[in-house]
Structure 1
Amino acid sequence: MAWVLLFLAGLAEIVWAVGLKHTDGFTRLMPTAVTAGAMIVSVVLLGLAVRSLPMGTAYAVWTGIGTVGTVLAGILLYGESADALRLLWLALIVTGIAGLKLTA
């Protein structure tokens, strides 16, 4: 169950990271509210996950999910670069996340 919570925390991190783009410096109410809510949900779920997962592993996986998801959102939603070298580094992050999951 802790891994599910951690995955959901990572998804919430993607939501708030993408949401930052829409807050216009926290001047737009609804995007700001969604972003702040996702931040809270993300940290709370991470806190619940670290009750039974090693803290270092959980934090690294959480940030990894957020990083990979945010980069993919940037590529898919905002036309950011998807060149081969960028995707290689992204694949290395995914490999690291999988390695941490397998060894926890």
Structure 2
Amino acid sequence: MPWIWLIIAGLLEIVWATGLKYTEGFSKFWPSVGTIALMLCSFWCLAQAMKTLPLGTSYAVWTGIGAVGTAIVGMVLFKEPATVARALCIVLIVAGIAGLKLTAKA
């Protein structure tokens, strides 16, 4: 169950990070409220995962899921550059996440 909490936390991080774009520096009320709510949910799920999983693994996997997902959302939704170099970097992050998962004790 802790890995499920961690995956949910990472997916929520993608959504709230994307939501930051729509808050326009927290100057738009409803997008800001939604983004903050998603942040809190993401942190709560991360905290649930950290009850069992190691700190370093949990935090690295959470930020990795968020970084990869947010980069992909940026390329798809906001037409950010989708270069070979960026794709290679995403692959390296995914490899790091997989390595941490494979070497975790919980």
* TM-score bracket for the superposition, by shorter chain length: over 0.9
Shift of 1:36: 0.2
Q: Aligned residue pairs: how many?
A: 104
Match of 1:7 in 2: 7
Match of 1:68 in 2: 68
Q: How does 1:10-89 map to 2 (within 5 A)?
A: 10-89=10-89
Shift of 1:27: 1.4
Shift of 1:6: 0.2
Q: Give TM-score, length-normalised by structure 2.
A: 0.96
Shift of 1:25: 1.4
Shift of 1:7: 0.2
Q: Give TM-score, length-normalised by structure 1.
A: 0.98
Question: What value does the CA root-mean-square deviation take over the aligned residues?
Answer: 0.6
Q: Which runs of 5+ in 2 are unaligned?
A: none
Counterpart of 1:99, as a letter, is G
Query: Among the aligned pairs, what percent are the same residue?
Result: 54
Counterpart of 2:101, as a letter, is K
Other structure's SS at 1:79 match: coil
Q: Distance in 1 between matches of 2:35 and 2:86?
A: 26
Counterpart of 2:12, as a letter, is A
After superposition, give the CA deviation of every residue in 1:42-99 in whole Å (9 maximum; x if it has no partner): 1111011000001100000000000000000000100001100110011000000000
